[in-house]
Each structure stands twice: as C-alpha cells, then as structure tokens.
Amino acid sequence: MDPTETVAEPGPSPGGGPSAAPAVRLRRAVALLGSFPALAGVDLEVDRQEIVLLRGPNGAGKTTLLRTLAGLVPVTQGEATVLGIDLVRDHKAVRPKVGLLGHATGLYDELTVADNVRFWCRAARARAVDADAAMVRLGLDGRLRNVAVGRLSAGQRRRTSLACLVARRPELWLLDEPHAGLDQEGRDLVDHLVRDATAAGATVVMSSHELDRAVALADRTVTVTGGTTEDDARPPVPGPAEIPEGQDSTDVA
Amino acid sequence: MWHDALLVAGKDLRLEVRSRVALNQIVPFALLVLVLFAFALDPDRGLLERATPGLYWVAVLFSGLLALQRAFTVEAADGNRDALRLSGLDPAGIFLGKAMAVGVQLLVLEVLLGIGVAVLYTTQFAGWPLLLATVGVATVGIAAAGTLYGVLAAGLRVRETLLPLLLLPVLAPVLIGSTRAFEAALAGAPAEGWPWVGLLAVFAVLYILAGVLGFGPLLEES
C-alpha cells in the first residue's frame, strides 16, 4: 500500500466533515518526562471507531503515549491532534473528551462505589442515570454500591474505575492494561464494553500484555519501542516533507 | 465554577464524615494543645488569661494544618490528582470547593476550641459581633491560603514537613490580626478590634483571588 493512501483513508463517517478526520494523529511527536524524551518522535494515526492495541516491552513508552493522548503530558515537538484538538497548542482542552483507565484507580477509598461513580460522573457533567447504568453494567449494583472502595478487592476497584469511565461517555477511550486484575468474567466484560463503545462511535487505544485477548479485540496493533512507534498493519505516516506540495495530508487520496 | 466548587466541597466533606479523621484525630489534638498550654501557664493564672486569644489562634493554626494536609493527602492517593485534571472540573472551582470544605472543618474546630477555652481557661466571652466577624474572615483567609499552599506542596515528596514550613509564616498576619481582635473583644473595647478584622478581610480576599487564578497552574505542576 502506498503510504499516502493510509493518510487519505477516511474515518468511519462517510461524506467528509469534521467526523471524518482521524481521532488521533501524531507526527514525529516528542514528549518529555523531565528532560528524558519518553516519546521520541511518534507517528500514530487512529481512525474514528477504531480499536488500536499498543504493544511493546516495559518502559517502551506505552503509558506515556496514552497519557499524552489524554492531555496529561504536553507534546513539545512535532504535530499532535486528538479529536480535532491541537495538543501542541492546548493539551488540556482534550481532557473532557477522553477517558483514561490507568494503573491507578483514581478512586477515593473512604467513599462508596456509588459516591465515587456519581462524583466523577457529575464532574464530567454526565447524567446521574448514566452513573447508575454504568454501575449495573459493571456488576456493581446491589450490595456493592454502598461498600467503601477501600474495602473492595483489586478486581472490584478496577470495575469501579471502569464504571466511572463508562458513565462519562468519552469519545476516546485510553485503556492501560484494562484486563489486569480482573477475573475471566471481568475480562470478557471489558471486551464487550470496548466493542459497544466503538459501535456507539467512540475510539479506543489500549495497551496490554495479554496479547492473545487484546489482539483479538483490536482492529490493529502498533508496536512501541524506545519511545517510537511502528505500525504493525500500516506503513509509517509520512511527514510533511513527503506530502506533495500544496496538498494537505487529509486529501491525498 | 460554583457547580464544581459545591461538588468538590461536598465530596471532601463526605470523605471527612466517612473517615472521621477530623473527629477522631484533629479535634483531640486541638484540645490537647489547649490542655498543654493550660499545664504550662496555670501557675500564673493571670498570664494564661492574657495569653488566651493568642493560644486559641495558635491551636487553630496547628490543628488547621492537619486538616489542610489531609485535604491534599486524599488527592495524592492512587491517581486521584490525574483524575481531577482529567475530570473537566474548573480548577478555580476545585480551589473554592477544597477551601470551602477546609473552612467548614475549621469552623467546627474553632467552636470546639472556644468551648475548650471557656472550660479550661474559664474565659468569659464578650463582644460577640467582633468575635464572630473575626472567626469568619480569619477562617476564610486560613482556608484560602492553606488550600493554595497545600496544592503547591502536594506534588513534593516532603509535603508533610514542607507545608507547615511554607504556610505558618504566610499565616502570621492572620495570627496577629485575629489575636488582636480577640483581645479587643474580650477587653470590652471592640472599636480597637475592627481594624484588625479589616486586615483579615484583605488577606482573605487576596488569597481567594490568588487561588482562583493560580490553583490551575499549580495543580498541573503538582
């Protein structure tokens, strides 16, 4: 496949317009943790409603890449657009539109499951009914709703974090090891949630060391090594110098 | 902004109600400070009476530091600060909400310490309007400055020891102003106390403005 054809590939919504733009487009993006370039020129393009798996060894930069896409780590060089928002110009603007499930749960131990989910749901201006529905979906209804998070098992805490994410209805799901700590039923549930989210219009970028399950779930895998990416299914995204003059990257087809 | 402030304040107060850290640890600590002052100064009862306003506010500041540290310890746990950044909450709203929750805890603490002073030091309270105004504006100032410095220290490994070091010098005007205003009220000369309330109000307004403007960048850096 010609590399330029990859760039021109439209998103899931036909007919062009804003929704046809990729959900994620990074070109030679550099992000620093202190003075260390945790991302050292990443190229990544993710279409709307696509599920992309990031794979790579520990310390390769997968978590930093997810945090960068969430607007938590600024991009210092290169180009980075997520959900139409230029992260180089304002990396914080994308935050309300994304949901990040990280290694940490982001929960308050002394509050109950329902308190936590409702708080994060209201913070995101989501509806209370969505919080209740998310708890039911994650199997946190009934007795568990009123249990303090600090008394839950690791798997139940993970489910609560997922409920917070689901209730927010983000456009871009960023999942860092989403299956970790969950039992078989919970892992299946994560897969269902991811598929349902993309069917409803969301886009998913995730990292996982459970490759069999994650590869089956993903539409595409991208290998992250040493702070750079290598698309396993697509050739690298061409840089501006490789695009014919006077032609925007989005209309190269 | 106010929606976010009330949401955060409600969450922080619910955390305190559930954990009972303030009730089980901070209030006993505050009363213990009063008791220790009484032991130290009891042989000279006159000195204890004269020093009561200052001792009261020193006890408020020391105990308030614990409440402030607690307010930011809960945000340091398990990725909560990242979750706050991602939440879409207005940073100014987060600042006001956390300051409101700290302020409510301080008010409860001040009432209990007032009862403690009345019982242990046999203090006869007088000049209630001045006393209440002093408590009100001093509490706002302590809560606002404490919340601002709390987030400043939150990202540091040595935050538990650094926060008192940073905050106590900043709160010196509050200690001086509120002590002088209390002295004036208890001495039956409230007119001498109101200028100090004005100073406390200026302090409170300045730190509210600084917090509304500066909390966001500090939250990013913490």
Q: Which amino acid is at B69?
A: Q
Sign of CA dihedral B101, B103, B109, B115: negative
Nearest to A74 by CA among A32, A23, A34, A25: A32
C-alpha span between A135 and A159 (Å, rounded): 9
Q: Specify the pairing of strand A75-82 against strand A228-231.
A: unpaired
Q: What is the mean pLDDT of residues A135-141?
A: 88
pLDDT above 50 (res A240): no
Count of residues in chain A: 253
How crowded is residue A140: how many other Cβ atoms within 10 Å of its Cβ?
A: 23
- Residues in B touching A108 (Cβ below 8 Å): 11, 15, 74, 77, 80
Q: Which two tokens stand for residue B222?
A: 């913490």
pLDDT above 90 (res A249): no
Q: What is the mean pLDDT of residues A2-20?
A: 37
C-alpha span between A126 and A116 (Å, rounded): 14
Residue of A nearest to B81 (CA): A106
pLDDT above 80 (res A217): yes
Cβ–Cβ < 8 Å for A74, A33: no
At A234, the pLDDT band (50, 70, 90 cuts) reads low
- Residues in A touching B4 (Cβ below 8 Å): 123
Q: Specify the pairing of strand A24-33 against strand A172-176.
A: unpaired
Q: Using DSSP, how many helices (H) and how many strands (E) does chain A show? A: 7, 10
Separation of CA B80 from chain center? 23
Cβ–Cβ < 8 Å for A240, A27: yes
Query: What's the gap in Å between the CA of B124 and the closest CA on chain A?
Result: 40
Q: Which two tokens stand for residue B135?
A: 């408590």
Interchain contact B85–A (C-beta under 8 A): yes
Query: What's the gap in Å between the CA of B83 and the closest CA on chain A?
Result: 6
Separation of CA A186 from chain center? 19
C-alpha span between A197 and A172 (Å, rounded): 9
Interchain contact B82–A (C-beta under 8 A): yes
- Residues in A touching B11 (Cβ below 8 Å): 108, 111, 115, 119
Residue of A nearest to B88 (CA): A96
At B111, the pLDDT band (50, 70, 90 cuts) reads very high
Helix (H) or strand (E) holding A89: none
**Structural Rg of chain A based on CA atoms:** 18
**A111 vs B18: CB contact, 8 Å cut-off?**
yes
Q: Which two tokens stand for residue B169?
A: 């010098």
Max mean pLDDT range (A72-76, A101-105, A181-185, B137-141): B137-141
Q: Which of B7, B77, B220 sits opposite A123 (nearest CB)?
A: B7
CA angle A191, A195, A200 (to 5 degrees): 145
Q: Which of B78, B86, B87 sits opposite A107 (nearest CB)?
A: B78
Separation of CA A139 from chain center? 23
**pTM > 0.95:** no
ipTM of this predicted structure: 0.82
Q: Which two tokens stand for residue A71?
A: 């607007």
Helix (H) or strand (E) holding B182: helix B172-186
Interchain contact B7–A (C-beta under 8 A): yes
Q: What is the mean pLDDT of residues A142-160?
A: 90
Interchain contact B15–A (C-beta under 8 A): yes
What pLDDT does residue B84 have? 87
Q: What is the mean pLDDT of residues A163-182?
A: 90
* Strand order across the beta sheet in which A220-225 lies: A98-101, A172-176, A203-207, A51-55, A220-225, A228-231
Interchain contact B23–A (C-beta under 8 A): no
pLDDT above 70 (res A69): yes
Average pLDDT, chain B: 88
Cβ–Cβ < 8 Å for B16, B42: no
Q: Which of B4, B18, B79 sits opposite A106 (nearest CB)?
A: B79
pLDDT above 50 (res A250): no
C-alpha span between B144 and B211 (Å, rounded): 7
Within A183-240, residue ranges assigned H as helices are 184-199, 211-217
What pLDDT does residue B46 have? 78
Place of tokens 């409860």: B108
C-alpha span between A180 and A206 (Å, rounded): 12
Q: What pairs with residue A39 in β-bridges?
A: A31
Interface test with B, best of A33, A95, A110 (most B CBs within 10 A): A110
Sign of CA dihedral A107, A109, A114, A116: negative
Q: Which two tokens stand for residue A171?
A: 């456009």
Cβ–Cβ < 8 Å for B29, B66: yes
With helix as H, strand as E and coil as C, how does A194-209 read? HHHHHHCCCEEEEECC
Max mean pLDDT range (A213-217, A228-232, B209-213, B217-221): B209-213
Cβ–Cβ < 8 Å for B180, B127: no
- Residues in A touching B86 (Cβ below 8 Å): 70-72, 95, 98-100
Q: Which two tokens stand for residue A42?
A: 């990443």
**A104 vs B79: CB contact, 8 Å cut-off?**
yes
